[in-house]
Amino acid sequence: MHVGATLRLLRVEAGLSLRDLAKRIGVSSAYLSRVEHGLDAVPTPARLSAIARELDIPPTLLMDVAHRVSPFMASYLEQEPEAGQLFLEIAQRQLNRQQLSRLRQLLNTEFPSRASSRDEPFTSLASLLSPERLVLQLSCARLDDALDVAAGRLASTSPLLGAGPLAANMRQREEEVSSAVGNGVAVPRVFHRGGPALAALVTLARPLKAETPDGLPLRLVVALMSPEQGRPSLMQLAHVARLASQGLADRLADAQHPHEVLQRLQSMEPLG
């Protein structure tokens, strides 16, 4: 997973320059640029936490995108060594996503979360979608074609929206910073002041050659529409990047019906 592309996308979305963010977390802009372009190692958990604080999103989101163990978890394992044995037993049993989801439901029932307000739940991707905003196995030659289709599905939710302006907005943002986050997923965004938060999802019949941070072709486009820029939209973007790092494109590649997509998403998201 190319975490640097996600960091760059989030930074631009938050309205921070490379220099601004670098100064805030105490590193050089040259170092941060190398990270964003995949030329340097993934930042340490402590540094990812610092970046998350400046972006005003939960550190766990970035930890998951980068597949890093958060300082919170490391501290907990140090305090409660037996927890490490429990994690090992889960790994030895090779629980799948559905089984882990059941385990989490049990934990939520028996031991309600005491997470801080900074880790409050956010809107799941599945809840932003509806069958009419799912396009499966689209054949296209360019990302622009997929953006046009996604914009059309988003525009169909309101007579006040026009597919053309939405697509143009997404293309303009694409020119500013690529929406590709790696693992075959692109997350274009568009803002519609006063409207609801929605998403359109497009799976591609054939992998699409495009500039991506990890060199892998695009297979999935998740277009996010938010009422305004800010923390909720940043969290949603980071969440989709996390799903991408967990194999979202693979999970949805052979889905033939909208309900399959929604079911598979729902099986993934409780683990977020």
For residue range 219-257, what is the model confidence (pLDDT) as tens digits? 999 999 998 888 899 999 999 999 999 899 999 999 999
**Domain ranges across the chain:** 3-71, 80-119, 125-271
- 1 compared with 40, residue with greater pLDDT: 40
φ, ψ of residue 242 to 5 degrees: the values are -65, -45
Lowest model confidence (mean pLDDT) among 4-8, 79-83, 155-159: 79-83
| Residue 126, pLDDT score | 94
Tens digit of each residue's pLDDT (9 = 90 or more) over 104-134: 778 778 887 654 434 445 689 999 999 999 9
| pLDDT of residue 271 exceeding 90 | no
Please determine whether the domains at 3-71 and 125-271 fall in the same fold group of CATH.
Answer: no
Q: What is the mean pLDDT of residues 127-149?
A: 96
Q: What is the pTM of this model?
A: 0.84
Indicate the range of 41-45, 53-57, 85-89 predicted with least confidence.
Answer: 85-89
Q: How far apart are CA 95 and CA 30, in angstroms?
A: 42
Q: What is the pLDDT of residue 237?
A: 95
User: In the CATH scheme, what is the code of domain 125-271?
Assistant: 3.40.930.10
Confidence of residue 270 (pLDDT cuts 50, 70, 90): low
pLDDT of residue 114: 58
Superfamily classification of domain 3-71: lambda repressor-like DNA-binding domains (1.10.260.40)
Let me know: does 55 contact 29? Beta carbons within 8 Å.
no
Residues 51-84, buried b or exposed e (16+ Cβ, 10 A)? Answer: bbebbebbbbbbbbbbebebebeeeeeeeeeeee
| 95 backbone dihedrals φ, ψ, rounded to 5° | -65, 140
Q: Token digits for 1?
A: 């997973």
Query: To 10 degrees, what angle do helices 258-268 and 97-110 make?
Result: 50
pLDDT tens-place string over residues 148-204: 999 999 998 876 788 999 999 999 999 999 999 999 999 999 998 877 899 999 999
Report the mean per-residue pLDDT for the chain.
88
